[in-house]
Structure 1
Amino acid sequence: MFRFFDIVFSILGLIVGLPVLLVLMLIGWFDTRSPLFRQERVGRGRKPFTLVKFRTMRPDTASVATHLANASAITAFGRFLRRTKLDELPQLWNVLKGEMSLVGPRPCLPNQEELIAERERRGVFDVRPGVTGLAQVNGIDMSGPVRLAEVDEQMVKHLTLRGYFRYLFLTVTGKGAGDRVREH
């Protein structure tokens, strides 16, 4: 049932959002010369996939979890993208391809072993990872892997159609925040 809405909304988002995507791509090109960020993430059934986002950090930034990255690596345009959550728009392509859902646990990096173990134990990998979910709208990020896995498990076990639309609405209206970045 969720997959139907994922397909419809991702197609609509890509079509309606195409002018915005193109403008952001152009500005991103002038900002970093590399507007798209691709990173291997862990998906459903622990299958790896390539997540696509707009780049918010300098291209030479180490590929680590956001909470381990240095805040000085974020570009001025990247701050705008993060604040508005527009950096997430290219993930509609991941959703359309079936690698992600609009709502689900955020996909982690393959080297986040503690989080992977906790999610595995709790059945979180039984579903597609999502662009947003319970943890995101409550400001819980990957810096607390056990707490995140608990919240992900709660969402996976109790997600209803109403909850799906609620998380989307809360995200679009600005509730929650992305992963914290270290300040130096």
Structure 2
Amino acid sequence: RMGASRREGKQLLGFFDDRHAERLASPRLRLLGRIADLADYVRQQGVDVIYIALPMTTQPRIVRLLDDLRDTTVSVYFVPDLFVTDLIQARVDHVGGMPVVAVCETPFTGLNGVLKQSFDFLMAACILILIAPLMLVIAAAVKCSSPGPALFRQYRYGLDGERILVYKFRSMTVCENGETIAQARQNDARVTPLGAFLRKTSLDELPQFINVLQGRMSIVGPRPHAVAHNEMYRKLIKGYMIRHKVKPGITGWAQVNGCRGETETLEKMKQRVDFDLEYLRRWSLALDLRIILRTVRLIRKDPNAY
């Protein structure tokens, strides 16, 4: 029955099973390996979706498999009658007429996706028209105040963990974009006097509205981290990469709940990720508007902005 999914634009690559081939009833799909090999295969082959059809009695194996897959951006579906925990946008779907349960999925599917994209595009276009003169003044001020480019470009992870180039007004004397990047901290010697003002008022983030028009970012979503930080924290925090099931945002649920600035401890980054995952579970257009309004109020008095 799964073969019908070809008509739905999906290519079925095969399946994973711990039983020997002779115990399988002449499967029409290709046996790709053992279940322990699945996460590595997903990472290497860029698989978009997997379907888990293990029986409920194999709960420990299911939990281990889900833990392995948390370091990927693959969408995970359960065939019904399975044990599930920590659902992200859980819903029932159908593939080739067979019901499946989404365990970890983006909230921006169907009409929600259209609403989110339309809201981002229209608001970013209007804001850019209004702030264009201000951006020109800031760009000129950055160029005159210290040597270096007006814009700082840095690779970060976007939707599904793909690298994107994010823009900011340069606020430091350096433009770090390598494998090791030190986070900005209070009284950071790298921050220029003008840069300190731009960071405090969040004016350094204004060029990211261009990223929104490019389709790389959203106005609201998990804040993008430098690639070097992603590679470090994905190994330390379970579920870290799930935050990349949506586009990164200029502001986010974590930032308006006090999780802005340096994450000098692992616990602070875990707290930020928890808020990001809560955003994925609770998303609505009303929540986006609430975050935007809270962001505007915080700009003038956020103690974590430096």
TM range (shorter): 0.7 to 0.9
My pick for the range that moved more, 119-128 or 97-106, is 119-128
**CA distances 1:48-80 after superposition (whole Å, capped 9, x unpaired):** 011100011113667625346971111110111
My pick for the range that moved more, 143-152 or 41-50, is 143-152
- CA 1:15/1:180 → structure 2, altered by over 3 Å: closer, same or farther? closer
Instruction: Tell me if the contact between 1:41 and 1:109 (Cα under 8 Å) persists in the aligned partners.
Output: yes
Aligned to 1:153: 277
My pick for the range that moved more, 18-27 or 166-175, is 166-175
Pairing 1:89–2:206 present: yes
* Pick aligned residue for 1:43 from 158, 181, 184: 158
* Pick aligned residue for 1:23 from 126, 134, 137: 137
Pairing 1:52–2:52 present: no
- Secondary structure of 2:225 counterpart: coil
Pairing 1:105–2:222 present: yes
* Pick aligned residue for 1:135 from 254, 279, 282: 254
Instruction: Tell me if the contact between 1:66 and 1:180 (Cα under 8 Å) persists in the aligned partners.
Output: no
Q: With the length of structure 1 as denominator, give the TM-score of the two structures.
A: 0.87
Alpha-carbon distance, 1:121 to partner: 5.2
> Which structure shows the bigger proportion of residues in helix conformation?
1
Pairing 1:123–2:242 present: yes
- Root-mean-square deviation (CA), in Å? 2.4
- Distance, in Å, in 2 between the alignment partners of 1:42 and 1:104 is 13
Query: Which of 1 and 2 has greater Rg?
Result: 2
Pairing 1:14–2:128 present: yes
Identity rate, percent? 32
- CA 1:45/1:161 → structure 2, altered by over 3 Å: closer, same or farther? same
Q: With the length of structure 2 as denominator, give the TM-score of the two structures.
A: 0.54
Structure of higher RCO (CA pairs closer than 8 Å, 6+ residues apart): 1
**2:146 is matched by which residue type in structure 1?**
T
**2:210 is matched by which residue type in structure 1?**
W
In structure 2, stretches of 5+ residues that fail to align are 1-114
> How many residues matched?
181
Alpha-carbon distance, 1:140 to partner: 0.8
